[in-house]
Chains A and B, each alone.
Chain A
Amino acid sequence: MGEVIVITSGKGGVGKTTATANIGAGLALRGYKVALVDADIGLRNLDVVLGLENRIVYDLVDVAHGHCRLKQALIKDKRFEGLHLLPAAQTKDKTAVKPEQMKEICLQLKEEFDYVIIDCPAGIEQGFKNAIAGAEKAIVVTTPEVSAVRDADRVIGLLEAAELKEPKLVINRLRPKMVRQGDMMTIEDIIEILAVDLLGVIPEDEQIIVTTNRGDTVVQDQRSRSGEAFRNIARRILGEPVPLMDLERDGNLFTRLRKIIGLR
């Protein structure tokens, strides 16, 4: 019996979909069977982030309404053994699926997969309620900005009210240089304000844009810092005690020199 984890944030654009794709791929790289569910009905994106947009036949709404079997809607990612996507519908709206239907789909997925990871839409309305309906654990993604942390706080309150206790935090797009200059909130600042456990920190990384442009995930890029951060998160989900990586490492003269001459 697998585990259902919802990835949410409240605010849009903080990296929920990227986090879902990379954490899912990271778990698959470790040999687990993973189903990714795009719960953002009407604004589906997990398919393009994963480069699977041309392979969609059926979607989440088709499954919920019994137009197809669950197996028929699942897309197998050929690059990662064990990784599957259940895409969202693009032409329906967020009321096309009811929380009970979502619960039922999660239950079915859980029987076959080790991890079911749900990409939650932004906001706290019906789409959010649907996405968390079948979840047992929650990951909240934020960035070190006032607006994102504020929304994360609101979402944490709503998750706890919905009996999704102790959500874990992922801080995305941290810029170590700005933190050093005192122009960006630190990891400790954010943890102190939100009073939740930290699951991981992803440094700002242009490589994410490059890989997403190609429909690839950064987690399989051994050289990128953000890829390493996502691999660490996957290992922590599996229960391994992995220390936070040294975000300063990229800032020293040696690595910068190597970067300049193209060795990275």
Chain B
Amino acid sequence: MLDFIVRFFQRHSLGSKEVAKERLRLVLVHDRANVSPELLELLKNDLVQVISKYIEIDERGLEVTLDSSEEMVALVASIPVRRVKRAVKVASV
């Protein structure tokens, strides 16, 4: 009887599939964020190239990491600036 009552009330709360879905969503965010170091290195090189067009940066001090918190994953880049170029030449297309 108690079992029946418990189940009766459970049915009115959130279905367990919503819990499953939410947990899965979070766990996949973390799983998918496990990017290989090689990929981060490639990304770093490309970043240096693009940013160097506008700003002189200290390449050795550059840090690119994936930061994951409970809810989301962020790409965090720390880029020490040496000098901002005076005139930015707009690349002709």
Closest chain A residue to B17, Cβ basis: A185
What are 19 residue pairs bridging A and B, where the CB atoms are less than 8 Å apart in the complex? A146-B20, A146-B23, A149-B24, A150-B27, A150-B31, A153-B28, A153-B31, A154-B31, A157-B32, A181-B15, A182-B14, A182-B17, A183-B17, A184-B17, A185-B20, A185-B21, A185-B24, A193-B21, A193-B25
The 3 closest A-B pairs by CB, nearest first: A182-B15, A183-B16, A185-B17
Interface footprint category on B = 10 to 19
Cβ A193 vs Cβ B28 within 8 A = yes
Distance in angstroms between the alpha carbons of A183 and B19 in the assembled complex: 9
Let me know if A100 is at the binding interface, CB within 8 A.
no
In the bound complex, how far is the Cα of B17 from the Cα of A88, in angstroms?
38
A residues with CB within 8 A of B: 145-146, 149-150, 153-154, 157, 179, 181-186, 189, 193
- Measured CB to CB, the nearest residue on chain B to A149 is B24
Secondary structure call for the B interface? helix
Q: How far is the CA of A121 from the CA of B18 in the complex (A)?
A: 31
| Contact status B11-A181, CB under 8 Å | yes
Q: Chain B residues near A184 (CB, 8 Å)? A: 17
Closest to B10 in A: A183
State whether A189 touches B28 (Cβ < 8 A).
no
CB distance from B22 to the nearest CB of A (A): 10
Point out the residue from A145, A150, A185, A186 that lies within 8 Å of B28, measured CB to CB.
A150
* In the bound complex, CA of A150 to CA of B23 (Å): 10
B 64-83 contacts with A by CB, 8 A = none
Q: State how many angstroms separate the Cβ of A129 from the closest Cβ of chain B.
A: 16
Whether A189 and B31, one on each chain, are in contact in the complex, defined by CB atoms closer than 8 angstroms, is: no
Q: Please, which residue of chain B has its CB at the minimum distance from the CB of A150?
A: B27
Q: Which of B17, B23, B27, B28 has the most CB of A within 10 A?
A: B17
Residue of A nearest to B24 (CB): A146
In the assembly, what is the distance between CA of A146 and CA of B21, in Å?
8
Task: Report how far A183 CA is from B18 CA in the complex, Å.
Answer: 8
Query: Within the complex, what minimum Cβ distance (angstroms) separates A87 from chain B?
Result: 34
Beyond A153-B28, A182-B17, A186-B17, list 14 extra A-B contacts (CB 8 Å): A146-B23, A146-B24, A146-B27, A153-B31, A181-B15, A182-B16, A183-B16, A183-B17, A185-B17, A185-B21, A189-B17, A193-B24, A193-B25, A193-B28
